[in-house]
Amino acid sequence: MRTVTLLGEDTSGPSAPAMDLADEVPPLTRVRGWVREVLSGLTDDEVEDCLLVVTELVANAYDHGEAPRRVRLRQSSEPCSVRLEVDDAARGEVVVGTSRLGEHRGRGMVLVAYLSTAWSVEFHERGKTVWAEVSCSAPPPVGG
């Protein structure tokens, strides 16, 4: 895993569809519905891969991070890829394969690594952004 430290960089950008996550518990059904809608131009398998990745990233932001939280999608057409980003206010490291929440936890980022072409953590003055890129075969729709 590559870790990049960014100070003061705004990663939101105007062209990235985003959803604020103000709920006390992870709004996974709502997040998945939103992602499915934004990525409606991709194949079912590509959307399912993105749904698994975003579910894990959002769940981790609630289990290990701090509010405020936000999820964002960035789409690229050449090559076709979707970058799923989740922000939270905690600055702790992301540890793959272990969890402070019990021995049957801690495998989610292994799944993210398997389904994505790349993933990383970017630290900034507001906390961190954990992101993963998932490849696709057809260009996603412009503007979601």
Q: Give the domain ranges of the chain.
A: 2-135
Mean pLDDT of the chain: 82
Give the pLDDT confidence score for residue 81 in this predicted structure.
Answer: 92
Give the pLDDT confidence score for residue 108 in this predicted structure.
Answer: 83
Instruction: Answer yes or no: is pLDDT of 8 > 70.
Output: no
Instruction: Give 142's pLDDT tier (boundaries 50, 70, 90).
Output: low
Per CATH, the architecture of 2-135 is what? Answer: 2-Layer Sandwich (3.30)
At residue 34, what are phi and psi to the nearest 5 degrees?
-65, -45
For residue range 40-71, list pLDDT tens digits in order.
889 999 999 999 999 999 999 998 889 999 99
Distance separating alpha carbons of residues 114 and 12, to the nearest angstrom: 25
Distance separating alpha carbons of residues 41 and 39, to the nearest angstrom: 5
Instruction: Answer yes or no: is pLDDT of 80 > 80.
Output: yes
Q: Please give the single-letter amino acid code of residue 95.
A: V
Q: Please give the single-letter amino acid code of residue 123.
A: F
Q: Please give the single-letter amino acid code of residue 8.
A: G
Alpha helices in 43-106 (DSSP H): 44-64
55 CB neighbour count, 10 Å cutoff: 20
